Amino acid sequence: MNIDKIDKFLKMKSSLNVSGLEKEAGIKGRALSIALSDKKDLSEKNWQKLLPILNNYGFGNLPNKAKIISIVNNKGGVGKTTTTAVLGEAMARRGLKVLMVDMDSQGNLSQIFEVSTENGQVADSMLDIDLLLNQVEVNENLYIVPSDLKLQKIESELLTAISNQHRLSAALNITLIENYDFVLIDCPPSLGLLTQNAINASHSCLVTVQPESSAVVGLDTIFKVISDIGKYSGRNVAVEGILFTMVEKNMVHDGFKKFVRDTYANVKVFKTEIKKNVDVSKAQAMKEQLFNFKSKSVVAIAYDELIDEILN
């Protein structure tokens, strides 16, 4: 139903006013307000009036089916798990239905949301396609497929398995991912078989980068792996963008950010930056999700702003 999609869009764009849209589109008799209230589609005439107005505000950028994004970097400690968790939270709060997939055997993403692997984990479905991914609801609109150390064990088992780089993609394809708007995959700190599975399953990759030499030096390798997977799989895996994380206001970070922008001028660098802040670690120590712990945290606000860049 178009009205369901409009309703979701308006929840995401809280600045838009229904009566204002009706006026801008020339719709009379509160037709949009009534349609939203009654959950009934607009007449074709009113829909044709409204659609170009909605598209001006980004309606056409809403995903028609789940967009799968891998959060990637072969270095640890650069904000991959935090990005997956907080971006997932922020999207769910906007009314988007999100599935997070924990592809790191350390299981940090699963621990953040206090989800166990008792009823299954991603490793099970990668070993046996007949086992559906265990999708655990953690919030309204927010779900997670958990992992633990078993994932590390099966990585070696998959080395000689048939279609070993496409196991996650196959598992996602039978998981009714059309029920979701976004799938966010938290990748391990390597470019090995598990990360290759994630990239093969994805439409795009979001690369988190701390603007310091140790994190910036591996970007060439990351982009080559993404490119090669696209070439050899026949799929166009895009780079969603580079996201600077744990940013501090100093000359060193400013210099590395400029270096990345100049060196990778053909790659999108998000305007949104994630500042270094203790709120995330405090929330995790208290076993709370960031938006519940401090919804006005600069980190929470930044990830909420990042959604607009991804959608647009």
Task: Decide if pLDDT at 120 tops 90.
Answer: yes
> How much of the chain, in percent, has pLDDT values that exceed 70?
97
How far, in Å, CA of 191 to CA of 160, rounded?
18
Residues 71 and 52 in one domain: no
Task: Decide if pLDDT at 135 tops 80.
Answer: yes
- 46, HSE (Cβ side, Cα atoms, 13 Å): 18
Rounded to the nearest integer, the mean pLDDT of the chain is: 89
**Both tokens of residue 294?**
């401090």
Stretch 11-31: mean pLDDT: 83
Contact of 183 with 68, CB cutoff 8 Å: yes
Q: Calculate the dihedral angle through the C-alpha atoms of 49, 54, 60, 64, rounding to the nearest 10 degrees.
A: -90
Any idea what the CATH number is for the domain that residue 127 is in? 3.40.50.300
Residues 90 and 202 in one domain: yes
How far, in Å, CA of 77 to CA of 71, rounded?
13
Residue 63, φ and ψ in degrees, nearest 5 = -65, 135
Look at residue 82 in the predicted model and tell me its pLDDT: 94
Residues 52 and 108 in one domain: no
Residues 144 and 183 in one domain: yes
Residues 56 and 76 in one domain: no
How far, in Å, CA of 133 to CA of 104, rounded?
15
Residues 112 and 205 in one domain: yes
Residues 199 and 51 in one domain: no
Task: Decide if pLDDT at 91 tops 90.
Answer: yes
Q: What is the DSSP letter of 260?
A: H
Full-model pTM: 0.86
Look at residue 258 in the predicted model and tell me its pLDDT: 93
Look at residue 113 in the predicted model and tell me its pLDDT: 94
Task: Decide if pLDDT at 13 tops 70.
Answer: yes
Stretch 23-32: mean pLDDT: 87
> How much of the chain, in percent, has pLDDT values that exceed 90?
55
pLDDT in tens, 204-219: 999 999 988 777 778 9
Task: Decide if pLDDT at 263 tops 70.
Answer: yes
Look at residue 14 in the predicted model and tell me its pLDDT: 67
Q: Is 124 helix (H, G, I), strand (E, B) or coil?
A: helix
Give residue 56's domain range.
2-61
Sign of CA dihedral 276, 279, 283, 289: negative
Residues 55 and 74 in one domain: no
